[in-house]
Structure 1
Amino acid sequence: MALPDLSERLKHLDATLTSIEKVLDLDKLRAEIADLQEQVGAPDLWDDQANAQRVTGRLSALQAELERATNLRQRLDDVEVLLELAAEEGDEDSRAEAEAEINRLAGSIESLEVRTLLSGEFDEREALVTIRSGAGGVDAADFAEMLQRMYIRWAERHEYPVEVYDTSYAEEAGLKSTTFAVKAPYAYGTLSVESGTHRLVRISPFDNQGRRQTSFAAVEVVPVLEETDEIDIPDEEIRVDVYRSSGPGGQSVNTTDSAVRLTHIPTGVVVSCQNEKSQLQNKASAMVILKAKLLALKKAEERAQLDELRGDVQASWGDQMRNYVLNPYQMVKDLRTEYETGNTQAVLDGEIDDFIEAGIRWRRGQSLN
């Protein structure tokens, strides 16, 4: 690309990054970081472990967000100097280096721009992810475990803490269901586009005749509630069951009845938690999950009522939203955005940012229609 074209492209990237910086409000971000650092320095911080984890987790995430934005600004300034050097000295190597860096910057800035599209009521919250195996027998249970691994790997790539609340193992292999939290700001807004039915096509490793099998798993993402959220659940509306935690194959991993299952009687919503060693801790964690799911249910009902009033009731966009085809060819394709890749292993290893970003842009476009 010629130098004038590179200069023009650089101006466009600079304008985009400036717009992003205004939306992120870097001064406000720095002020919140300073406040959180003051809280972290308090000697009694860890007297309340739940609050301490929330404070330190948010501090880490906001510092990473600020560093990401400031690092992009520094890179943009550096490449501008490199481009000027290439123009003054007619240095082809500098021009080529500048072009390569501009290409890298374009991808990074575009990725950060997606973050500014997360402006929903609960988008900035942490996320609770539930995965359930669907049709497809043991292959579906195995697929549910593959998806859990995919999302946890994605969180690890971004250094987001993950806490598994409950895991129900299938008899032969895989998972019947699992619920885990991704503890990072905007985790809900980011992962909410992953809600829906996921479909896997492959040669079944559990079929001794080597036949191709289609299986399904459902992904549900809800925001973690905060203390200020108004969700009041009377005690008489909840049934509490306790049981022993178990591992793969039903093997006991706890000799006491510490696992807790909560059933919200009016709605039939059931949640469970067996991650903690004590029954009280598991009950508290299960209540967090239950409140989050009831809030999501309430919001869904409100949206349905609005759609009915508008006379514009549509099927959920999340139904069978993505196909993972491992045989007879390799392809992962999102059916809403049309985004696809042939690198299936990378996707299953947690490289799903491109799918998430495409989903966020797609959702934004749908809301504007």
Structure 2
Amino acid sequence: MTAADYPEQLKALDATLRNIENVLDVDKLRRDKADLEEQASAPDLWDDQARAQDVNSRLSYVSGEINKLERLRSRLDDAGLLLEMAEAEGDSASVDEVGEELVTLSKAIEEMEVRTLLSGEYDAREAVVSIRAGAGGVDAADFAEMLLRMYLRWAERHGYPTEVYDTSYAEEAGLKSATFAVKVPYAFGTLSVESGTHRLVRISPFDNQGRRQTSFAGVEVMPVVETTDHIDIPENELRVDVYRSSGPGGQSVNTTDSAVRLTHIPTGIVVTCQNEKSQLQNKASAMRVLQARLLERKRQEEEAELAGLKQDTTGSWGDQMRSYVLHPYQMVKDLRTEQETGNPSSVFDGEIDEFIEAGIKWRKTSEKAS
């Protein structure tokens, strides 16, 4: 792109940003912010801690969305003004500065545009994410722990609050499974494209002969249940087991039977939670995860019915969707979107936005095609 193209580029970005502002309804976001600020200032807010956290989480998210849009609008307007002044004064250095700003603005506006594609029934929900080690022995367990860190770092980079409900440690290293929540609106719509089987290829650090090992881990993303969902679980359909929490190496981290395992008898779905201090807290967290699993099961069954398909929704991790190769070369590649990078370290450190954005676009294109 040359300097002669900058005015047209500014017009195109302005049109895209106006469309984003319309789709996200900035006026409604501002009304929501004012309403949430009023709720947050109520003197009795913290009498109900769960509601208080929900209000503050939503206020933080809405404020963040408004700030992003306002900053983009301000930067775009400033770039246009700077270009006019630079061209009038023949200031080539400032023209170059506009060109650099247009590159970063294009990327930032494209990221916001992806958000407008999240229009599914449950996309606006918070998310519950489960990771399970698959085939590959101790390497798979280690891989599951690497994925947990990757998603928690991604959330941390964005300032999204998370809560880890359960971490089941493997005997030698890593995790058998882990479950956590991302407590921000649109977390489900954003992360749902991460569901599937992830594959790791590397020289195993657990093999004294230094052989290459392929291991797998499954990621499942579920929408958080809201009061309008009517996910009722009768007591006679639920088996509750309590046991002592444990940490890495089987070492006791609790002297009471505070960990909880819930089994939904009709479906066979099992949920555990041991990261809270009390049995009651663990049971409440486990119940939230179980309800989320049942809601996701219901959502998948409805989708299958609409598509006229019969599919297994009782624990399938879906098709293999991403490969992380550390040997003989370095590459992370999404097998659906062809998105790839030669820097696996940054991916495992939570830099996965490009993969998520490509996944959302791919899903939208697939929906239109069907």
TM over 0.5: yes
The answer to whether the 8 Å contact 1:317/1:336 transfers is no
1:312 to partner: Cα distance: 11
What is the aligned partner in structure 2 of residue 234 from structure 1? Answer: 234
Instruction: After superposition, give the CA deviation of every residue in 1:302-355 in whole Å (9 maximum; x if it has no partner).
Output: 22222236x999xx9941100000000000000000000001100000000000
What is the aligned partner in structure 2 of residue 5 from structure 1? Answer: 5
What is the aligned partner in structure 2 of residue 357 from structure 1? Answer: 357
Alpha-carbon distance in 1 for matches of 2:225, 2:269: 17
Alpha-carbon distance in 2 for matches of 1:28, 1:299: 28
The verdict on how the C-alpha distance between 1:328 and 1:100 changes in structure 2, with shifts beyond 3 A counting, is same
What is the aligned partner in structure 1 of residue 169 from structure 2? Answer: 169
- Which deviates more, 242-251 or 327-336? 242-251
Do residues 86 (structure 1) and 86 (structure 2) align? yes
The answer to whether the 8 Å contact 2:128/2:181 transfers is yes
1:300 to partner: Cα distance: 1.2
Show structure 2 runs of 5+ residues with no match.
none
**SS of the counterpart of 1:219?**
strand
The verdict on how the C-alpha distance between 1:141 and 1:48 changes in structure 2, with shifts beyond 3 A counting, is same
Amino acid at match of 2:219: V
Alpha-carbon distance in 1 for matches of 2:249, 2:276: 20
Amino acid at match of 1:304: A
What is the aligned partner in structure 2 of residue 110 from structure 1? Answer: 110
The answer to whether the 8 Å contact 1:201/1:325 transfers is yes
The answer to whether the 8 Å contact 2:219/2:317 transfers is no
Alpha-carbon distance in 1 for matches of 2:276, 2:46: 18
Alpha-carbon distance in 2 for matches of 1:130, 1:161: 16
What is the aligned partner in structure 1 of residue 346 from structure 2? Answer: 346
TM-score, length of structure 2 as denominator length: 0.97
What is the aligned partner in structure 2 of residue 45 from structure 1? Answer: 45
Do residues 207 (structure 1) and 204 (structure 2) align? no
4+ aligned runs moved over 3 Å, structure 1 = 1-4
Amino acid at match of 2:231: I
1:226 to partner: Cα distance: 1.1
TM-score, length of structure 1 as denominator length: 0.97
- Which deviates more, 331-340 or 270-279? 270-279
Amino acid at match of 2:82: L
The answer to whether the 8 Å contact 1:240/1:263 transfers is yes
| Number of residue pairs aligned between Structure 1 and Structure 2 | 366
Amino acid at match of 2:327: N
1:1-369 equivalences in 2 (<5 Å): 1-308=1-308, 318-369=318-369
**SS of the counterpart of 1:228?**
helix
Taking only aligned residues, the RMSD between alpha carbons, in angstroms, comes to 1.4
Amino acid at match of 2:35: D
**SS of the counterpart of 2:145?**
helix
The answer to whether the 8 Å contact 2:166/2:273 transfers is yes
Identity of aligned residues (%): 71
The answer to whether the 8 Å contact 2:198/2:322 transfers is yes
Alpha-carbon distance in 2 for matches of 1:191, 1:365: 17
**SS of the counterpart of 1:358?**
helix
Amino acid at match of 1:97: E
**SS of the counterpart of 2:260?**
strand
Instruction: After superposition, give the CA deviation of every residue in 1:173-205 in whole Å (9 maximum; x if it has no partner).
Output: 000000000111100000000000000000000
Amino acid at match of 1:73: R
Instruction: After superposition, give the CA deviation of every residue in 1:242-292 in whole Å (9 maximum; x if it has no partner).
Output: 011111011111111111110000000010111211111111111111011
Instruction: After superposition, give the CA deviation of every residue in 1:59-86 in whole Å (9 maximum; x if it has no partner).
Output: 1111111100110000000000111012
Amino acid at match of 1:305: E
1:209 to partner: Cα distance: 0.4
- Which deviates more, 115-124 or 271-280? 271-280
Alpha-carbon distance in 1 for matches of 2:335, 2:279: 42
The verdict on how the C-alpha distance between 1:90 and 1:318 changes in structure 2, with shifts beyond 3 A counting, is farther
The answer to whether the 8 Å contact 1:154/1:349 transfers is yes
Amino acid at match of 1:142: D
Alpha-carbon distance in 2 for matches of 1:155, 1:129: 12
Show structure 1 runs of 5+ residues with no match.
none
Alpha-carbon distance in 2 for matches of 1:37, 1:68: 18
Amino acid at match of 2:355: F
The answer to whether the 8 Å contact 2:139/2:213 transfers is yes
The answer to whether the 8 Å contact 1:145/1:174 transfers is yes
**SS of the counterpart of 1:216?**
strand
Amino acid at match of 2:268: G
The answer to whether the 8 Å contact 1:127/1:222 transfers is yes
